[in-house]
Chain A
Protein backbone atom coordinates (compact mmCIF):
# COMPACT_ATOMS: atom_id res chain seq x y z
CA UNK A 1 0.00 0.00 0.00
CA UNK A 2 1.74 3.14 -1.09
CA UNK A 3 1.53 6.18 1.08
CA UNK A 4 0.93 8.44 -1.87
CA UNK A 5 -2.07 6.42 -2.96
CA UNK A 6 -3.61 6.39 0.48
CA UNK A 7 -3.12 10.12 0.92
CA UNK A 8 -5.11 10.58 -2.24
CA UNK A 9 -7.85 8.49 -0.73
CA UNK A 10 -8.10 10.73 2.32
CA UNK A 11 -8.15 13.92 0.36
CA UNK A 12 -10.75 12.31 -1.82
CA UNK A 13 -13.15 12.96 1.04
CA UNK A 14 -13.89 9.37 2.03
CA UNK A 15 -14.00 10.22 5.69
CA UNK A 16 -15.97 7.42 7.39
CA UNK A 17 -19.48 7.99 8.64
CA UNK A 18 -19.10 11.76 8.78
CA UNK A 19 -16.59 11.64 11.67
CA UNK A 20 -14.04 14.37 11.76
CA UNK A 21 -11.09 11.98 11.88
CA UNK A 22 -9.94 10.69 8.52
CA UNK A 23 -7.46 7.81 8.60
CA UNK A 24 -4.74 8.13 6.05
CA UNK A 25 -4.40 4.46 5.13
CA UNK A 26 -5.06 0.94 6.29
CA UNK A 27 -2.34 -0.57 8.52
CA UNK A 28 -0.41 -3.10 6.50
CA UNK A 29 0.04 -6.52 8.13
CA UNK A 30 1.72 -8.37 5.26
CA UNK A 31 5.34 -7.62 6.12
CA UNK A 32 5.01 -8.86 9.68
CA UNK A 33 3.02 -11.93 8.70
CA UNK A 34 5.39 -12.94 5.87
CA UNK A 35 8.45 -12.51 8.09
CA UNK A 36 6.91 -14.61 10.83
CA UNK A 37 5.85 -17.29 8.35
CA UNK A 38 9.31 -17.61 6.78
CA UNK A 39 10.97 -17.94 10.17
CA UNK A 40 8.37 -20.49 11.25
CA UNK A 41 9.19 -22.62 8.17
CA UNK A 42 12.88 -22.44 9.06
CA UNK A 43 12.04 -23.53 12.60
CA UNK A 44 10.15 -26.55 11.29
CA UNK A 45 13.05 -27.63 9.10
CA UNK A 46 15.47 -27.32 12.01
CA UNK A 47 13.18 -29.21 14.39
CA UNK A 48 12.76 -32.01 11.87
CA UNK A 49 16.54 -32.25 11.52
CA UNK A 50 16.99 -32.21 15.28
CA UNK A 51 14.40 -34.94 15.74
CA UNK A 52 16.32 -37.01 13.18
CA UNK A 53 19.64 -36.42 14.94
CA UNK A 54 18.46 -37.27 18.43
CA UNK A 55 16.42 -40.38 17.56
CA UNK A 56 17.73 -43.55 16.03
CA UNK A 57 14.30 -44.58 14.90
CA UNK A 58 12.67 -42.70 12.06
CA UNK A 59 9.12 -42.61 10.86
CA UNK A 60 6.09 -41.51 12.84
CA UNK A 61 7.80 -40.40 16.12
CA UNK A 62 10.15 -38.22 14.13
CA UNK A 63 7.26 -36.63 12.25
CA UNK A 64 5.30 -36.07 15.44
CA UNK A 65 8.16 -34.58 17.47
CA UNK A 66 9.91 -32.85 14.59
CA UNK A 67 6.97 -31.40 12.67
CA UNK A 68 3.59 -31.66 14.37
CA UNK A 69 4.61 -30.52 17.83
CA UNK A 70 6.66 -27.47 16.73
CA UNK A 71 3.98 -26.59 14.19
CA UNK A 72 1.41 -26.60 16.97
CA UNK A 73 3.60 -24.39 19.16
CA UNK A 74 4.58 -21.91 16.48
CA UNK A 75 1.40 -22.09 14.41
CA UNK A 76 -1.09 -20.67 16.92
CA UNK A 77 -0.04 -17.03 16.90
CA UNK A 78 0.68 -17.24 13.19
CA UNK A 79 -2.86 -18.38 12.50
CA UNK A 80 -4.24 -15.62 14.70
CA UNK A 81 -2.13 -13.06 12.84
CA UNK A 82 -3.47 -14.31 9.51
CA UNK A 83 -7.11 -14.30 10.68
CA UNK A 84 -6.89 -10.80 12.07
CA UNK A 85 -5.19 -9.62 8.89
CA UNK A 86 -8.12 -10.96 6.86
CA UNK A 87 -10.58 -9.39 9.27
CA UNK A 88 -8.82 -6.07 8.87
CA UNK A 89 -9.18 -6.23 5.10
CA UNK A 90 -12.86 -7.03 5.37
CA UNK A 91 -13.49 -4.17 7.78
CA UNK A 92 -11.67 -1.80 5.47
CA UNK A 93 -13.82 -2.92 2.55
CA UNK A 94 -16.86 -2.27 4.72
CA UNK A 95 -15.52 1.23 5.42
CA UNK A 96 -15.20 0.55 9.18
CA UNK A 97 -11.81 2.17 9.27
CA UNK A 98 -11.24 2.23 13.03
CA UNK A 99 -12.13 -1.44 13.37
CA UNK A 100 -9.89 -2.23 10.39
CA UNK A 101 -6.88 -0.54 11.96
CA UNK A 102 -7.54 -2.17 15.31
CA UNK A 103 -7.69 -5.62 13.73
CA UNK A 104 -4.51 -4.89 11.81
CA UNK A 105 -2.70 -3.78 14.96
CA UNK A 106 -3.76 -6.99 16.71
CA UNK A 107 -2.58 -8.96 13.70
CA UNK A 108 0.82 -7.28 13.98
CA UNK A 109 1.00 -8.13 17.68
CA UNK A 110 0.26 -11.77 16.91
CA UNK A 111 2.95 -11.78 14.23
CA UNK A 112 5.48 -10.35 16.66
CA UNK A 113 4.52 -12.94 19.26
CA UNK A 114 4.98 -15.63 16.64
CA UNK A 115 8.39 -14.19 15.69
CA UNK A 116 9.51 -14.29 19.30
CA UNK A 117 8.31 -17.83 19.78
CA UNK A 118 9.89 -19.15 16.57
CA UNK A 119 13.10 -17.30 17.29
CA UNK A 120 13.27 -19.18 20.56
CA UNK A 121 12.53 -22.53 18.88
CA UNK A 122 15.13 -21.86 16.17
CA UNK A 123 17.79 -21.03 18.75
CA UNK A 124 17.06 -24.09 20.86
CA UNK A 125 17.07 -26.43 17.87
CA UNK A 126 20.32 -24.91 16.55
CA UNK A 127 22.01 -25.53 19.90
CA UNK A 128 20.49 -29.02 19.97
CA UNK A 129 21.77 -29.75 16.48
CA UNK A 130 25.24 -28.60 17.48
CA UNK A 131 25.21 -30.84 20.55
CA UNK A 132 23.97 -33.93 18.70
CA UNK A 133 25.84 -33.41 15.44
CA UNK A 134 28.64 -35.72 14.36
CA UNK A 135 26.98 -38.67 16.05
CA UNK A 136 26.62 -36.79 19.34
CA UNK A 137 30.32 -35.94 19.66
CA UNK A 138 29.65 -32.64 21.42
CA UNK A 139 27.15 -34.25 23.75
CA UNK A 140 29.53 -37.05 24.68
CA UNK A 141 32.43 -34.69 25.29
CA UNK A 142 30.65 -32.00 27.32
CA UNK A 143 27.35 -33.39 28.56
CA UNK A 144 27.91 -37.01 29.49
CA UNK A 145 25.39 -37.50 32.31
CA UNK A 146 27.29 -40.39 33.83
CA UNK A 147 30.52 -38.44 34.29
CA UNK A 148 28.63 -35.37 35.43
CA UNK A 149 26.76 -37.30 38.10
CA UNK A 150 29.86 -39.14 39.29
CA UNK A 151 31.84 -35.95 39.91
CA UNK A 152 29.03 -33.89 41.39
CA UNK A 153 29.39 -34.84 45.07
CA UNK A 154 33.12 -34.13 45.31
CA UNK A 155 32.79 -30.92 43.34
CA UNK A 156 29.95 -29.62 45.47
CA UNK A 157 32.11 -30.20 48.55
CA UNK A 158 35.03 -28.44 46.88
CA UNK A 159 32.72 -25.56 45.93
CA UNK A 160 32.59 -24.69 49.64
CA UNK A 161 36.23 -23.61 49.28
CA UNK A 162 35.18 -21.19 46.53
CA UNK A 163 32.32 -19.90 48.65
CA UNK A 164 34.61 -19.42 51.63
CA UNK A 165 37.21 -17.51 49.61
CA UNK A 166 34.56 -15.43 47.86
CA UNK A 167 32.79 -14.40 51.07
CA UNK A 168 36.02 -13.57 52.89
CA UNK A 169 37.43 -11.57 50.00
CA UNK A 170 34.13 -9.74 49.44
CA UNK A 171 33.84 -8.58 53.06
CA UNK A 172 37.44 -7.32 53.05
CA UNK A 173 37.08 -5.75 49.59
CA UNK A 174 33.87 -3.92 50.53
CA UNK A 175 35.37 -2.47 53.70
CA UNK A 176 38.75 -1.58 52.27
CA UNK A 177 37.16 -0.34 49.04
CA UNK A 178 35.01 2.08 51.02
CA UNK A 179 38.05 3.37 52.87
CA UNK A 180 39.79 3.91 49.52
CA UNK A 181 36.79 5.67 47.98
CA UNK A 182 36.29 8.01 50.93
CA UNK A 183 40.03 8.63 51.09
CA UNK A 184 40.06 9.53 47.44
CA UNK A 185 37.15 11.97 47.86
CA UNK A 186 38.46 13.73 51.01
CA UNK A 187 38.21 17.48 50.45
CA UNK A 188 40.78 20.03 51.45
CA UNK A 189 44.35 20.80 50.47
CA UNK A 190 45.94 18.99 53.40
CA UNK A 191 44.61 15.61 52.34
CA UNK A 192 46.40 15.49 48.99
CA UNK A 193 48.86 12.77 50.06
CA UNK A 194 45.93 10.57 51.16
CA UNK A 195 44.15 11.16 47.89
CA UNK A 196 47.31 10.44 45.89
CA UNK A 197 47.91 7.23 47.83
CA UNK A 198 44.37 6.00 47.20
CA UNK A 199 44.55 6.81 43.50
CA UNK A 200 47.92 5.06 43.22
CA UNK A 201 46.61 1.96 44.98
CA UNK A 202 43.52 1.79 42.76
CA UNK A 203 45.56 2.28 39.59
CA UNK A 204 48.06 -0.41 40.50
CA UNK A 205 45.80 -3.11 41.89
CA UNK A 206 43.11 -2.69 39.27
CA UNK A 207 45.77 -3.27 36.66
CA UNK A 208 47.33 -6.47 38.02
CA UNK A 209 45.61 -9.66 36.80
CA UNK A 210 44.02 -11.49 39.74
CA UNK A 211 45.68 -14.76 38.83
CA UNK A 212 49.14 -13.17 38.96
CA UNK A 213 48.41 -11.58 42.32
CA UNK A 214 47.16 -14.89 43.74
CA UNK A 215 50.34 -16.53 42.49
CA UNK A 216 52.56 -13.86 44.05
CA UNK A 217 50.80 -13.70 47.42
CA UNK A 218 50.24 -17.43 47.92
CA UNK A 219 53.73 -18.50 46.94
CA UNK A 220 55.59 -15.38 47.94
CA UNK A 221 54.45 -14.59 51.47
CA UNK A 222 55.28 -18.00 53.03
CA UNK A 223 58.82 -17.78 51.61
CA UNK A 224 59.46 -14.38 53.19
CA UNK A 225 59.27 -15.92 56.69
CA UNK A 226 58.16 -12.58 58.08
CA UNK A 227 56.42 -13.24 61.41
CA UNK A 228 52.60 -13.29 61.17
CA UNK A 229 52.62 -12.44 57.44
CA UNK A 230 54.04 -15.79 56.41
CA UNK A 231 52.07 -17.90 58.84
CA UNK A 232 48.72 -18.01 57.08
CA UNK A 233 47.25 -20.90 55.13
CA UNK A 234 46.90 -20.93 51.35
CA UNK A 235 43.18 -20.16 51.51
CA UNK A 236 43.78 -17.07 53.65
CA UNK A 237 46.39 -15.86 51.16
CA UNK A 238 43.95 -16.40 48.32
CA UNK A 239 41.36 -14.35 50.21
CA UNK A 240 43.85 -11.54 50.71
CA UNK A 241 45.04 -11.59 47.11
CA UNK A 242 41.53 -11.36 45.71
CA UNK A 243 40.57 -8.70 48.27
CA UNK A 244 43.54 -6.59 47.13
CA UNK A 245 42.25 -6.62 43.55
CA UNK A 246 38.58 -6.30 44.25
CA UNK A 247 38.90 -3.50 46.80
CA UNK A 248 40.29 -1.41 43.94
CA UNK A 249 37.27 -2.27 41.77
CA UNK A 250 34.87 -1.57 44.63
CA UNK A 251 36.55 1.75 45.44
CA UNK A 252 35.75 3.00 41.94
CA UNK A 253 32.22 1.68 42.27
CA UNK A 254 31.69 3.50 45.57
CA UNK A 255 33.19 6.65 44.13
CA UNK A 256 30.87 6.69 41.13
CA UNK A 257 27.97 5.96 43.47
CA UNK A 258 28.88 8.86 45.75
CA UNK A 259 29.53 11.26 42.87
CA UNK A 260 26.17 10.43 41.30
CA UNK A 261 24.36 11.94 44.29
CA UNK A 262 23.23 15.51 43.75
CA UNK A 263 25.60 18.05 45.33
CA UNK A 264 22.54 19.76 46.83
CA UNK A 265 22.15 16.83 49.22
CA UNK A 266 25.53 17.55 50.77
CA UNK A 267 24.89 21.29 50.80
CA UNK A 268 21.55 20.82 52.53
CA UNK A 269 22.94 18.40 55.10
CA UNK A 270 25.96 20.57 55.88
CA UNK A 271 23.89 23.76 55.94
CA UNK A 272 21.78 22.44 58.80
CA UNK A 273 24.85 21.76 60.86
CA UNK A 274 25.38 18.04 60.38
CA UNK A 275 29.01 17.08 60.80
CA UNK A 276 30.95 15.69 57.81
CA UNK A 277 30.92 12.10 59.13
CA UNK A 278 27.18 12.35 59.80
CA UNK A 279 26.56 13.63 56.28
CA UNK A 280 28.41 10.61 54.92
CA UNK A 281 26.67 8.18 57.22
CA UNK A 282 23.07 9.39 57.06
CA UNK A 283 22.79 11.15 53.71
CA UNK A 284 25.45 9.97 51.26
CA UNK A 285 26.06 6.29 52.00
CA UNK A 286 22.39 5.17 52.19
CA UNK A 287 21.67 6.76 48.83
CA UNK A 288 24.88 5.38 47.37
CA UNK A 289 24.07 1.85 48.55
CA UNK A 290 20.91 1.86 46.48
CA UNK A 291 22.67 3.25 43.45
CA UNK A 292 25.43 0.67 43.43
CA UNK A 293 23.64 -2.49 44.61
CA UNK A 294 23.26 -3.93 41.10
CA UNK A 295 26.78 -3.16 39.81
CA UNK A 296 28.21 -4.26 43.18
CA UNK A 297 26.58 -7.65 42.69
CA UNK A 298 28.14 -7.90 39.22
CA UNK A 299 31.56 -7.26 40.72
CA UNK A 300 30.87 -9.78 43.46
CA UNK A 301 29.90 -12.42 40.89
CA UNK A 302 33.12 -11.62 39.05
CA UNK A 303 34.95 -12.25 42.31
CA UNK A 304 33.13 -15.55 42.86
CA UNK A 305 34.22 -16.74 39.43
CA UNK A 306 37.77 -15.55 40.01
CA UNK A 307 37.99 -17.85 43.04
CA UNK A 308 38.49 -20.66 40.51
CA UNK A 309 41.89 -19.10 39.76
CA UNK A 310 43.27 -20.58 42.98
CA UNK A 311 43.90 -23.70 40.92
CA UNK A 312 47.27 -22.12 40.01
CA UNK A 313 48.49 -22.41 43.60
CA UNK A 314 47.22 -25.95 44.13
CA UNK A 315 44.14 -25.28 46.28
CA UNK A 316 41.50 -27.92 45.56
CA UNK A 317 38.44 -25.88 44.68
CA UNK A 318 35.48 -26.99 42.57
CA UNK A 319 37.25 -26.32 39.29
CA UNK A 320 40.46 -28.16 40.17
CA UNK A 321 38.36 -31.05 41.47
CA UNK A 322 36.59 -31.08 38.09
CA UNK A 323 39.93 -30.96 36.32
CA UNK A 324 41.04 -34.06 38.21
CA UNK A 325 37.87 -35.88 37.18
CA UNK A 326 38.12 -34.80 33.58
CA UNK A 327 41.75 -35.90 33.37
CA UNK A 328 40.89 -39.32 34.80
CA UNK A 329 37.85 -39.82 32.59
CA UNK A 330 39.42 -38.19 29.56
CA UNK A 331 36.14 -36.29 29.25
CA UNK A 332 35.15 -32.68 29.97
CA UNK A 333 31.66 -33.34 31.34
CA UNK A 334 32.79 -32.74 34.94
CA UNK A 335 34.04 -29.28 33.96
CA UNK A 336 30.68 -28.50 32.36
CA UNK A 337 29.08 -29.58 35.60
CA UNK A 338 31.22 -27.01 37.44
CA UNK A 339 29.84 -24.33 35.11
CA UNK A 340 26.36 -25.43 36.11
CA UNK A 341 27.29 -25.20 39.81
CA UNK A 342 28.66 -21.68 39.46
CA UNK A 343 25.60 -20.52 37.54
CA UNK A 344 23.27 -22.10 40.09
CA UNK A 345 25.04 -20.20 42.85
CA UNK A 346 24.82 -16.81 41.12
CA UNK A 347 21.22 -16.82 39.89
CA UNK A 348 19.57 -16.60 43.35
CA UNK A 349 21.86 -13.68 44.21
CA UNK A 350 20.71 -11.74 41.16
CA UNK A 351 17.07 -12.38 41.97
CA UNK A 352 17.65 -11.38 45.59
CA UNK A 353 19.19 -8.03 44.64
CA UNK A 354 16.37 -7.39 42.15
CA UNK A 355 13.89 -8.14 44.92
CA UNK A 356 15.62 -5.89 47.43
CA UNK A 357 15.81 -3.00 44.96
CA UNK A 358 12.14 -3.39 44.06
CA UNK A 359 11.19 -3.48 47.73
CA UNK A 360 13.20 -0.42 48.68
CA UNK A 361 11.71 1.53 45.79
CA UNK A 362 8.16 0.65 46.83
CA UNK A 363 9.03 1.58 50.39
CA UNK A 364 10.31 4.92 49.18
CA UNK A 365 7.11 5.40 47.23
CA UNK A 366 5.15 4.35 50.30
CA UNK A 367 3.64 1.29 48.57
Chain B
Protein backbone atom coordinates (compact mmCIF):
# COMPACT_ATOMS: atom_id res chain seq x y z
CA UNK B 1 0.00 0.00 0.00
CA UNK B 2 0.91 3.59 -0.35
CA UNK B 3 2.03 3.61 -3.95
CA UNK B 4 -1.17 2.86 -5.83
CA UNK B 5 -2.78 5.51 -8.05
CA UNK B 6 -6.27 5.28 -6.60
CA UNK B 7 -6.36 4.08 -3.05
CA UNK B 8 -9.27 3.37 -0.75
CA UNK B 9 -8.26 2.96 2.87
CA UNK B 10 -10.85 1.61 5.32
CA UNK B 11 -13.61 3.49 3.49
CA UNK B 12 -16.95 3.40 5.28
CA UNK B 13 -20.23 4.79 3.93
CA UNK B 14 -23.46 4.89 5.89
CA UNK B 15 -26.98 6.05 5.07
CA UNK B 16 -28.48 6.58 8.49
CA UNK B 17 -28.14 3.24 10.26
CA UNK B 18 -27.47 1.28 7.08
CA UNK B 19 -23.82 0.60 6.37
CA UNK B 20 -23.36 0.46 2.60
CA UNK B 21 -19.56 0.25 2.53
CA UNK B 22 -17.77 -1.34 5.45
CA UNK B 23 -14.04 -0.60 5.82
CA UNK B 24 -13.22 -1.14 2.17
CA UNK B 25 -9.55 -1.34 1.14
CA UNK B 26 -8.81 -1.14 -2.56
CA UNK B 27 -5.82 -0.15 -4.66
CA UNK B 28 -5.85 0.64 -8.38
CA UNK B 29 -2.61 1.22 -10.25
CA UNK B 30 -2.14 3.52 -13.20
CA UNK B 31 -3.34 1.97 -16.52
CA UNK B 32 -5.11 -0.74 -14.60
CA UNK B 33 -8.71 -1.85 -15.12
CA UNK B 34 -10.43 -2.95 -11.94
CA UNK B 35 -13.89 -4.48 -12.03
CA UNK B 36 -16.23 -4.63 -9.07
CA UNK B 37 -18.66 -7.53 -9.07
CA UNK B 38 -21.35 -8.49 -6.63
CA UNK B 39 -25.10 -8.75 -6.21
CA UNK B 40 -27.42 -5.73 -6.42
CA UNK B 41 -27.11 -3.67 -3.27
CA UNK B 42 -23.63 -4.94 -2.47
CA UNK B 43 -22.28 -1.39 -2.66
CA UNK B 44 -20.54 -1.39 -6.06
CA UNK B 45 -22.19 1.72 -7.42
CA UNK B 46 -21.90 3.56 -4.14
CA UNK B 47 -18.17 2.85 -4.10
CA UNK B 48 -17.75 4.45 -7.53
CA UNK B 49 -19.88 7.44 -6.51
CA UNK B 50 -17.65 7.92 -3.45
CA UNK B 51 -14.52 7.99 -5.59
CA UNK B 52 -16.13 10.74 -7.69
CA UNK B 53 -17.20 12.68 -4.60
CA UNK B 54 -20.90 12.36 -5.42
CA UNK B 55 -21.28 10.66 -2.03
CA UNK B 56 -19.49 11.71 1.13
CA UNK B 57 -17.86 8.98 3.19
CA UNK B 58 -18.17 8.62 6.95
CA UNK B 59 -14.89 6.88 7.63
CA UNK B 60 -11.54 6.10 6.02
CA UNK B 61 -9.70 7.87 3.23
CA UNK B 62 -9.63 7.93 -0.56
CA UNK B 63 -6.61 9.22 -2.41
CA UNK B 64 -5.84 9.85 -6.06
CA UNK B 65 -2.28 10.17 -7.29
CA UNK B 66 -1.14 10.89 -3.75
CA UNK B 67 -3.78 13.58 -3.03
CA UNK B 68 -6.45 12.86 -0.45
CA UNK B 69 -9.80 13.28 -2.21
CA UNK B 70 -12.24 12.46 0.59
CA UNK B 71 -13.37 14.52 3.54
CA UNK B 72 -14.56 18.05 4.17
CA UNK B 73 -11.68 20.10 2.81
CA UNK B 74 -11.71 18.70 -0.71
CA UNK B 75 -12.45 20.93 -3.69
CA UNK B 76 -15.13 18.69 -5.16
CA UNK B 77 -15.32 20.55 -8.46
CA UNK B 78 -11.58 20.03 -9.03
CA UNK B 79 -11.69 16.42 -7.89
CA UNK B 80 -14.52 15.61 -10.26
CA UNK B 81 -12.60 17.04 -13.19
CA UNK B 82 -9.89 14.47 -12.49
CA UNK B 83 -12.37 11.58 -12.17
CA UNK B 84 -14.86 10.86 -14.96
CA UNK B 85 -17.95 8.76 -14.45
CA UNK B 86 -20.43 7.19 -16.86
CA UNK B 87 -23.81 6.02 -15.59
CA UNK B 88 -26.18 3.20 -16.39
CA UNK B 89 -28.86 5.69 -17.46
CA UNK B 90 -26.60 7.77 -19.78
CA UNK B 91 -27.80 11.08 -18.28
CA UNK B 92 -27.11 13.11 -21.38
CA UNK B 93 -28.65 16.58 -21.26
CA UNK B 94 -31.78 16.24 -23.40
CA UNK B 95 -32.04 19.94 -24.25
CA UNK B 96 -28.54 20.14 -25.76
CA UNK B 97 -27.12 18.75 -28.97
CA UNK B 98 -24.54 15.99 -28.81
CA UNK B 99 -21.78 18.51 -29.48
CA UNK B 100 -22.90 20.85 -26.73
CA UNK B 101 -23.24 17.95 -24.31
CA UNK B 102 -19.57 17.30 -24.97
CA UNK B 103 -18.29 20.87 -24.84
CA UNK B 104 -20.30 22.35 -21.96
CA UNK B 105 -18.02 21.28 -19.13
CA UNK B 106 -14.63 21.80 -20.81
CA UNK B 107 -15.67 25.34 -21.76
CA UNK B 108 -17.20 26.20 -18.39
CA UNK B 109 -14.29 24.67 -16.53
CA UNK B 110 -11.90 26.79 -18.53
CA UNK B 111 -10.06 23.72 -19.81
CA UNK B 112 -10.48 24.81 -23.42
CA UNK B 113 -11.83 27.65 -25.51
CA UNK B 114 -15.12 27.04 -27.29
CA UNK B 115 -13.41 26.49 -30.66
CA UNK B 116 -10.87 24.13 -29.24
CA UNK B 117 -13.41 22.22 -27.17
CA UNK B 118 -15.57 21.77 -30.27
CA UNK B 119 -12.65 20.59 -32.35
CA UNK B 120 -11.66 18.10 -29.67
CA UNK B 121 -15.26 16.97 -29.26
CA UNK B 122 -15.53 16.30 -33.00
CA UNK B 123 -12.39 14.19 -32.92
CA UNK B 124 -13.63 12.27 -29.90
CA UNK B 125 -17.09 11.74 -31.41
CA UNK B 126 -15.52 10.47 -34.60
CA UNK B 127 -13.49 8.08 -32.54
CA UNK B 128 -16.61 6.67 -30.85
CA UNK B 129 -18.19 6.33 -34.30
CA UNK B 130 -20.69 9.17 -34.04
CA UNK B 131 -19.20 11.75 -36.38
CA UNK B 132 -22.50 12.28 -38.19
CA UNK B 133 -24.50 12.67 -34.95
CA UNK B 134 -22.74 15.83 -33.80
CA UNK B 135 -25.81 18.03 -34.27
CA UNK B 136 -28.37 15.46 -33.11
CA UNK B 137 -30.25 15.60 -29.83
CA UNK B 138 -30.05 12.70 -27.34
CA UNK B 139 -33.60 11.47 -27.93
CA UNK B 140 -32.76 10.91 -31.59
CA UNK B 141 -30.06 8.40 -30.67
CA UNK B 142 -30.24 4.73 -29.75
CA UNK B 143 -29.26 3.70 -26.24
CA UNK B 144 -25.89 2.46 -27.43
CA UNK B 145 -25.21 5.73 -29.25
CA UNK B 146 -26.23 7.75 -26.20
CA UNK B 147 -23.91 5.74 -24.01
CA UNK B 148 -21.03 6.27 -26.43
CA UNK B 149 -21.69 10.01 -26.34
CA UNK B 150 -21.69 9.82 -22.54
CA UNK B 151 -18.28 8.10 -22.62
CA UNK B 152 -16.95 10.68 -25.08
CA UNK B 153 -18.30 13.45 -22.86
CA UNK B 154 -16.52 12.04 -19.84
CA UNK B 155 -13.27 11.45 -21.74
CA UNK B 156 -13.16 15.03 -23.04
CA UNK B 157 -12.37 16.23 -19.53
CA UNK B 158 -9.22 14.08 -19.81
CA UNK B 159 -9.91 12.33 -16.51
CA UNK B 160 -7.11 10.53 -14.72
CA UNK B 161 -9.53 7.74 -13.83
CA UNK B 162 -12.69 6.72 -15.63
CA UNK B 163 -15.50 5.14 -13.60
CA UNK B 164 -18.05 3.04 -15.48
CA UNK B 165 -21.18 2.21 -13.50
CA UNK B 166 -23.09 -0.66 -15.14
CA UNK B 167 -22.93 1.18 -18.43
CA UNK B 168 -24.45 -1.65 -20.48
CA UNK B 169 -27.24 -2.67 -18.10
CA UNK B 170 -29.87 -0.40 -19.66
CA UNK B 171 -29.03 -1.41 -23.22
CA UNK B 172 -30.69 -3.87 -25.55
CA UNK B 173 -28.44 -6.92 -26.05
CA UNK B 174 -27.52 -6.04 -29.64
CA UNK B 175 -26.30 -2.59 -28.53
CA UNK B 176 -24.13 -3.85 -25.68
CA UNK B 177 -21.33 -4.94 -27.99
CA UNK B 178 -20.71 -1.49 -29.51
CA UNK B 179 -20.26 0.03 -26.06
CA UNK B 180 -18.04 -2.79 -24.84
CA UNK B 181 -15.84 -2.48 -27.93
CA UNK B 182 -15.31 1.17 -27.09
CA UNK B 183 -14.40 0.38 -23.49
CA UNK B 184 -11.97 -2.25 -24.75
CA UNK B 185 -10.26 0.35 -26.93
CA UNK B 186 -9.98 2.75 -24.00
CA UNK B 187 -8.44 -0.02 -21.90
CA UNK B 188 -5.93 -0.74 -24.66
CA UNK B 189 -5.04 2.95 -24.68
CA UNK B 190 -4.10 2.61 -21.05
CA UNK B 191 -6.92 4.59 -19.47
CA UNK B 192 -7.19 3.78 -15.78
CA UNK B 193 -10.67 2.45 -15.15
CA UNK B 194 -12.84 1.21 -12.35
CA UNK B 195 -16.08 -0.38 -13.40
CA UNK B 196 -19.03 -2.40 -12.30
CA UNK B 197 -20.66 -4.75 -14.76
CA UNK B 198 -22.74 -7.88 -15.16
CA UNK B 199 -20.90 -8.83 -18.35
CA UNK B 200 -18.62 -11.41 -16.74
CA UNK B 201 -16.81 -12.61 -19.90
CA UNK B 202 -15.99 -9.01 -20.72
CA UNK B 203 -14.81 -8.28 -17.18
CA UNK B 204 -12.59 -11.33 -17.35
CA UNK B 205 -11.14 -10.26 -20.66
CA UNK B 206 -10.14 -6.68 -19.91
CA UNK B 207 -9.72 -6.50 -16.13
CA UNK B 208 -6.39 -6.76 -14.40
CA UNK B 209 -8.17 -7.21 -11.10
CA UNK B 210 -11.63 -8.30 -9.98
CA UNK B 211 -13.08 -7.36 -6.59
CA UNK B 212 -16.07 -9.20 -5.17
CA UNK B 213 -18.26 -7.06 -2.95
CA UNK B 214 -20.73 -8.62 -0.56
CA UNK B 215 -22.85 -6.50 1.76
CA UNK B 216 -20.46 -3.57 1.60
CA UNK B 217 -17.27 -5.54 2.15
CA UNK B 218 -14.66 -6.74 -0.30
CA UNK B 219 -14.64 -10.47 0.37
CA UNK B 220 -12.18 -11.47 -2.29
CA UNK B 221 -10.00 -9.77 -4.87
CA UNK B 222 -7.44 -10.91 -7.36
CA UNK B 223 -6.67 -11.49 -11.03
CA UNK B 224 -9.67 -12.67 -13.10
CA UNK B 225 -8.43 -16.26 -13.50
CA UNK B 226 -8.20 -16.63 -9.75
CA UNK B 227 -11.60 -15.11 -9.03
CA UNK B 228 -13.51 -16.92 -11.77
CA UNK B 229 -11.70 -20.27 -11.84
CA UNK B 230 -10.69 -20.75 -8.22
CA UNK B 231 -13.06 -18.74 -6.04
CA UNK B 232 -12.49 -19.27 -2.34
CA UNK B 233 -15.23 -17.37 -0.51
CA UNK B 234 -18.46 -19.39 -0.37
CA UNK B 235 -20.49 -16.20 -1.12
CA UNK B 236 -18.46 -15.65 -4.29
CA UNK B 237 -19.01 -19.25 -5.36
CA UNK B 238 -22.77 -18.86 -4.85
CA UNK B 239 -22.77 -15.58 -6.77
CA UNK B 240 -20.82 -17.02 -9.71
CA UNK B 241 -23.04 -20.08 -9.82
CA UNK B 242 -26.15 -17.87 -9.98
CA UNK B 243 -24.65 -15.75 -12.75
CA UNK B 244 -23.68 -18.88 -14.63
CA UNK B 245 -27.17 -20.35 -14.33
CA UNK B 246 -28.78 -17.08 -15.41
CA UNK B 247 -26.51 -17.04 -18.46
CA UNK B 248 -27.64 -20.47 -19.54
CA UNK B 249 -31.34 -19.58 -19.56
Contact = CB atoms under 8 A, between A and B. Distances in A.
Size range of the chain B interface in the assembly: 20 to 34
Given A272-B80, A273-B80, A273-B109, A364 B94 contact: yes
A282 B77 CA distance: 16
Contacts of B79: 273
A363 to B, nearest CB: 8
Interface string B68-87: 00000000111111011101
Contact of B80 (A270, A278, A290, A366): A270
Contact of B87 (A264, A273, A275, A364): A264
Contacts of B49: 267
A365 interface: yes
Contacts of A270: 54, 76, 80
A287 B92 CA distance: 12
Given A267-B54, A271-B52, A366 B95 contact: no
Interface string A73-100: 0000000000000000000000000000
Contacts of A274: 77, 104-105, 108-109
Interface stretch (B117-125, B132-140, B229-237): B132-140
Nearest to A275: B77
B157 interface: yes
A365 B140 CA distance: 7
B104 A282 contact: yes
Given A366-B137, A366-B140, A271 B93 contact: no
Nearest to B81: A273
Q: Chain B CB within 10 Å — which of A270, A273, A275, A283 has the most?
A: A273
Interface string B86-121: 010101111100000000110011000000000000
13 contacts: A267-B91, A270-B80, A271-B52, A271-B54, A272-B157, A273-B157, A274-B77, A274-B105, A274-B108, A275-B77, A275-B108, A283-B93, A365-B139
A43 B224 CA distance: 81
B44 interface: no
Given A273-B79, A287-B94, 19 more contacts: A262-B89, A264-B87, A268-B150, A270-B76, A271-B52, A271-B80, A271-B83, A272-B80, A272-B84, A272-B154, A273-B81, A274-B108, A274-B109, A278-B108, A282-B93, A282-B104, A282-B108, A287-B95, A366-B136
Q: Chain B CB within 10 Å — which of A268, A290, A364 has the most?
A: A268
B217 interface: no
A283 B104 CA distance: 10
Q: Chain B CB within 10 Å — which of A278, A364, A365 has the most?
A: A364
B153 interface: yes
A144 B79 CA distance: 73
Contacts of A283: 93
Nearest to B76: A270
Interface string A262-293: 10110111111111001000110011001000
Interface in A275-331: 275, 278, 282-283, 286-287, 290
Interface in A239-269: 262, 264-265, 267-269
A288 to B, nearest CB: 10
A38 B85 CA distance: 67
Given A272-B105, A273-B77, A364-B94, A267 B87 contact: yes
A285 to B, nearest CB: 10
Contacts of A365: 137, 139-140
A287 B93 CA distance: 9
Contacts of A286: 95
A304 B70 CA distance: 52
Q: Chain A CB within 10 Å — which of B49, B87, B108 has the most?
A: B108
Contacts of B95: 286-287, 290, 364
Nearest to A272: B105
Interface string B145-188: 00000100110010000000000000000000000000000000
Contacts of A287: 93-95
A264 B108 contact: no
Contacts of B139: 364-365
Interface string A353-367: 000000000001110
B24 to A, nearest CB: 20
Nearest to B154: A272
Given A282-B104, A364-B139, A366-B136, A272 B91 contact: no
A270 B52 CA distance: 9
A299 B76 CA distance: 39
Contacts of B84: 271-272
A268 B94 contact: no
A264 B146 CA distance: 14
Contacts of B93: 265, 268-269, 282-283, 287
A268 B151 CA distance: 12
A278 B157 CA distance: 16
B109 A364 contact: no
